[in-house]
Amino acid sequence: MENVNDVLTDATSKLSKSFDALKSQFSGLRTGKASPAMVDGIKVEYYGCPTPIKNLGTISTPEPRQIKITPFDPTVLAEMNKAILAANLGVTPQTDGKVLRITVPELNEQRRKEIVKLAKTQAEAQKVAMRNIRRDANDAVKKLEKDKKISEDDMKQGLDKIQKATDEWIAKIDSELKSKEAEVMAV
């Protein structure tokens, strides 16, 4: 990288990806209503290869508390059933030989608190990742100054810009966590 703007652009891109990863993780958390994202991360053994469940069938929510999975290959239903049970989502799938239905029960207070705790853990992990991105960007800017590619003033301005960008993304994580927490705790 030749200048501070290159470092800042790279860091901002990585911060954005980190935030997107958190949103993706949050979409898989149960909130008391059915969502296809609940089963997105589940992998099913299909011909000896772990395959995402979303690649093996269509996933829909015909009712607010139900997920319906229609496999492209009905022979994989039993494996899907096992994978969903192993994922420990707190749901029991039912099958009629062609379709897998998951009824999402109401969340009790204890389960809601566990989900909020998990969300906080995921958010903190992404904050740590963002701080690591900031550290790497700061090191890159300091190296530019050490190699005499930029002045000391440019280095200080660059470090400030990197800090501001990191603070903005961490504030977005806090906001996202707060809204997810409210969504989960709503009865």
pLDDT tops 80 at residue 55: yes
With vertex at residue 116, the alpha carbon angle to CA 115 and CA 120, rounded to the nearest 5 degrees, is 115
Please tell me what DSSP assigns to residue 177: H
Q: What is the DSSP string of 94-126?
A: EE-SS-EEEE-PPPPHHHHHHHHHHHHHHHHHH
Q: Cβ distance 15 to 166 under 8 Å?
A: yes
Per-residue pLDDT band for 112 (boundaries 50, 70, 90) equals confident
Which comes out higher in pLDDT, residue 129 or 184? Answer: 129
Residue 137 confidence class, pLDDT cut points 50, 70, 90: very high
Give me the CATH number covering residue 15. 1.10.132.20
Taking residues 65-69, report their average pLDDT: 90
For residues 99 and 131, membership in a common domain is answered with no
Same domain assignment for residues 145 and 112? yes
Task: Identify whether residues 23 and 89 lie together within a single domain.
Answer: no
Task: Note the pLDDT of residue 156.
Answer: 93
Whether residues 14 and 80 share a domain: the answer is no
82 and 150 assigned to the same domain: no
How would residue 176 be classed by pLDDT, with cut points 50, 70 and 90? Answer: very high
Residues 170 and 131 in one domain: yes
**Which of 78, 103, 128 marks a domain boundary?**
103
pLDDT band at 1 (very low <50, low <70, confident <90, very high): low
- Given this model, what pLDDT does residue 187 score? 64
Look up the domain containing 49 and give its range: 36-103
